[in-house]
Amino acid sequence: MKVLLKPLQWLYSLYAIVLFIAIMLVIFPFVIFASFLGKIRGGNMILWLCARWADLWFPLIGIFHRFIYEAPHDRQRQFIFVNNHISYLDSAVLVKAYHQQVRPLGKVEMARIPVFGFIYRNAIVTVDRSSPANRAASLRILRSLISKGISVLVFPEGTFNETGEPLKEFYDGAFRLAIETQTPIKPVLFLDTYDRLHYGGVFSFTPGRNRIVYLDEIPVEGLTKADLPALKARVHAYMEERLRFYKASWIK
């Protein structure tokens, strides 16, 4: 049966990809205009445009979001959001997940994609994790954004989790930033992006639900750099426990 259904999945994936590009091309002139408005105002406008793109694309390809709030979430407050990372679709979902001013930290490689890359590098803060100097520069930009009242989003695993475990090891950056700026951490789980688009290939799209889980915030008030390892371990254990609770499908 799976062999018979495979051509249908390829056709559906092709439809999703073509529609992705078509809608992106529609908003692209407005993104170019917004890029001249500066990193703050222009970046906010570009992320708003990306959210409108997502409002069209996801329903048209049959992917529907469901928000689960394990604790009340105040969109007027500032957070360091930390997400698990399991799919190319995560980048598209994040513009639906966060209905407040936020800047994601993303891999610099994605900025090289034609058209999409222009939108990407004007909407997020890019980082080259292979370069210590670039990582430090990215953190400086994130600190500046926090000082201006904008939340930030980090995938602390750095890249796709292909281990079969709930999470990979975390990098320090998000937790160092939280301690230095005394900004609380808000973990968020993307439970179904792995099933909607497997990291193994772009022709693995499937329609269906996409759950976004807001966990309870983790305060950092009074913590110092000496507390960084314990804070990172606490957040990792908390997110791992909730991924197991929801029976995330990639866990072996």
Cα 229 to chain centroid distance, Å, stands at 23
**How many distinct helices (H) and strands (E) make up the chain?**
8, 7
pTM given for the model? 0.91
Q: Where are the alpha helices (DSSP H) in the chain?
A: 2-35, 41-60, 90-97, 116-123, 132-147, 173-181, 193-196, 228-245
pLDDT digits (tens, 9 = 90+) for 89-111: 998 999 999 988 999 888 777 77
Which residues is 189 bridged to in the sheet? Answer: 213
Cα 29 to chain centroid distance, Å, stands at 24
CA-based nearest residue to 205, from 193, 217, 216: 193
pLDDT digits (tens, 9 = 90+) for 151-202: 999 999 988 999 999 999 999 999 999 999 999 999 999 999 999 999 888 8
Q: What is the mean pLDDT of residues 198-225?
A: 94
Taking each helix axis as running N to C, give the angle between helix 2-35 and helix 41-60, from 0 to 180 degrees, rounded to the nearest 10.
150
CA-based nearest residue to 167, from 93, 237, 215: 237
> What's the CA gap between 205 and 225, in Å, rounded?
42
Domain definitions of the chain by residue range? 2-245
Record: fold of 2-245: Glycerol-3-phosphate (1)-acyltransferase (3.40.1130)
pLDDT digits (tens, 9 = 90+) for 20-78: 999 999 999 999 999 999 888 999 999 999 999 999 999 999 999 999 999 999 999 99
Q: What is the pLDDT of residue 125?
A: 84
